[in-house]
Structure 1
Amino acid sequence: MEQPLKVMVIDDSRTIRRTAQTLLGEVGCEVITASDGFDALAKIVDHAPRIIFVDVLMPRLDGYQTCAIIKHNALFKDTPVVLLSSRDGLFDKARGRVVGSDQFLTKPFTKEELLEAIRVHVPGFAEHAHHAP
Structure 2
Amino acid sequence: MSEEFANLKVMIIDDSKTIRRTAETLLKKAGCEVITAIDGFDALAKIADSRPHVIFVDIMMPRLDGYQTCALIKNNSHFKGTPVIMLSSKDGLFDKAKGRIVGSDKYLTKPFSKDELLDAIKEYVPAAA
TM range (shorter): over 0.9
Is 2:6–2:31's contact at 8 Å kept on the other side of the alignment? no
1:5-24 equivalences under 5 Å are 5-24=8-27
Is 2:9–2:52's contact at 8 Å kept on the other side of the alignment? yes
How high is the TM-score relative to the length of structure 2?
A: 0.95
How high is the TM-score relative to the length of structure 1?
A: 0.92
Write the distance in 1 (CA, Å) between the matches of 2:126 and 2:94. Answer: 29
Write the distance in 2 (CA, Å) between the matches of 1:9 and 1:94. Answer: 21
Q: Which one-letter code corresponds to 1:46 in the other structure?
A: D
Q: Is 1:61 the equivalent of 2:64?
A: yes
Q: Is 1:25 the equivalent of 2:28?
A: yes
Identity of aligned residues (%): 70
Unaligned runs of 5+ in 1: 127-133
The equivalent residue for 1:107 is 110
Per-residue deviation, 1:79: 0.1
Q: Which one-letter code corresponds to 1:110 in the other structure?
A: S
Equivalenced residue count is: 126
Write the distance in 2 (CA, Å) between the matches of 1:58 and 1:22. Answer: 21
Which residue of 39, 61, 69 maps to 1:36? 39
Per-residue deviation, 1:3: 5.9
Unaligned runs of 5+ in 2: none
Q: Which runs of 4+ in 1 moved over 4 A?
A: none
Write the distance in 2 (CA, Å) between the matches of 1:27 and 1:77. Answer: 25
Which residue of 82, 87, 104 maps to 2:90? 87
The equivalent residue for 2:124 is 121
